[in-house]
């Protein structure tokens, strides 16, 4: 799946990447370049079984790639 939104780093525990989309928050799991923090991005990934599962809430996506828009 492809998701679009603003990438944000949330400082909880060792840290959590969250994508803020128009439909809500998505927790992202995978390698993400820290330089993309705060940027509009396109995320390629797979939904993780029906539950956000992260303690920051929202649904969860296992990330294959993240690309800055524009």
Partner 1 sequence: MSALRNTLAIAVTVGAVYALASRPVDRHLPDAPDAAPAPDASGQLVVDLVDGATLEDLAEIERLLNADLDWTSPMSVDEALAEGWVADLDDAVALLANHPLVEVVEPQIEMAIPIDLNFDSLVVVDDYGPAAGFPDDPMYSRQWNLPAMGAPHGWSIGAMGGGVIVAVVDTGVSKVEDLEGTKVLEGASFVPGTRTAEDDQGHGTHVAGTIAQTTNNGKGVAGVAPEATILPVKVLSKWGFGQSSWIASGIDYAVDNGAQVINLSLGGGYSAVIHNAIKKARAKGVIVVAAAGNTGRRGVGYPGALEETIGVSALGPGGKMAPYSSFGKGVDISAPGGDKRVKDGGILQDTVDGKGGHHYVEYQGTSMATPHVAGAAAVLLSRGVPADKVEQTLLQSARGDGWDEKFGHGQLDLGAALDTSVENANGIRFLLGAFLAFLIAQMAGTTGGFRIRSAAVGGVTAGGLFFLSYLPLPDLLVVRLLASGLVQWPEILFGHGWMHFPLWLSAALPFGLAFTLGAYRGTRPIALGVAAGYAAVLFHGAATGGLAPWGLPEALGHAWLALNATVAVLLGMGMAGTEILEMQERRR
Residues engaged in binding partner 1 (CB under 8 A):
9-17, 27, 29-32, 34, 48-57, 60, 62
Cβ closest to partner 1, residue 9 vs residue 42: 9
Residue 60 CA to residue 70 CA, distance in Å, equals 25
Q: How far is the CB of 47 from partner 1 (least distance, A)?
A: 10
Q: How far is the CB of 50 from partner 1 (least distance, A)?
A: 6
DSSP 6-59: EEEEE-STT-EEEEEETTEEEEEES---GGGTTSEEEEEEEE-TT---STT-SE
Cβ closest to partner 1, residue 42 vs residue 52: 52
């Amino acid at each position: 799946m492809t998701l679009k939104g603003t990438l944000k780093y949330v400082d909880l525990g060792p840290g959590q990447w969250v994508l803020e989309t128009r439909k809500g928050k998505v927790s992202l799991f995978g390698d993400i370049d820290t330089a993309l923090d705060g940027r509009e991005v396109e995320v390629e990934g797979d939904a993780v079984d029906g539950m956000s599962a992260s303690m920051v809430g929202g649904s969860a996506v296992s990330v294959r790639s993240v690309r800055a828009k524009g």
